[in-house]
Amino acid sequence: MSDTANKASPHGAHDEHGDPYAHIHVSSWQTLVAVFVALVLLTSLTVYVATYDIGRFELAVAMGIATIKCALVMGFFMHLKYDRALNRMVFLGSILFFTLFLGITVIDLDSSKPDIESYRRENPVKTAPATEESKPSGEATKPGDPKKSGEPGQHQKQK
């Protein structure tokens, strides 16, 4: 798991010119396969959980599982576990700014929710504007449509 690719350079042999090879972490294939299996299991878990109605925790659970998968990919496939601390900092910096971006937007949205709700009460959605207006899209009656053309339902589209 922690073997390095330094096969041909005992220290000191090249001390004037520096090591001709960088010290690179090489992952063992067993580690890679184990991570892949864990990722597949977590994917199955998230699909399985989604078939149950668990209410408002649904999004939190789905995002939690995705975050664990993300950590596995980053730690092992992207070598972040063995990488320089600087690269970890660079990555965490992006997460920090992502959180700021999303967090401040959500706070702003939250504070304008009363306005949004009163606007909605005053302007309810009446009919189906999209289906009424976008009818002559032409796509419905394309002759090349293998599934629909010639089926009895087709005629009803001309309302």
Q: Is the distance from CB of 116 to CB of 122 less than 8 angstroms?
A: no
Judged by beta carbon, residue 118 or residue 145, the one nearer another protein is 145
Using CA atoms, how far apart are residues 78 and 96, in angstroms rounded to an integer? 19
Name the nearest CA neighbour of 72 among 111, 32, 106, 121.
32
Tell me: does residue 24 bind another protein (CB under 8 A): yes
Written as one letter, the residue type at 141 is T
Among 29, 114, 123, 150, binds another protein (CB under 8 A): 29
Burial of 88 (0-12, 13-18, 19+ CB in 10 A): middle
Q: Least distance in Å: CB of 123 to another protein?
A: 12
Q: Is the distance from CB of 25 to CB of 79 less than 8 angstroms?
A: yes
Using CA atoms, how far apart are residues 79 and 32, in angstroms rounded to an integer? 11
Tell me: does residue 82 bind another protein (CB under 8 A): no
* Residues of span 113-152 touching another protein by CB under 8 A: 116, 124-131, 133-135, 137, 139-140, 145, 147-148, 151-152
Tell me: does residue 45 bind another protein (CB under 8 A): no
Tell me: does residue 33 bind another protein (CB under 8 A): yes
The count of residues interacting with another protein (CB under 8 A) is: 82
Binding-residue pattern over the window 48 to 67 for another protein, x denoting contact by CB under 8 A:
--xxxxx---x---xx-xx-
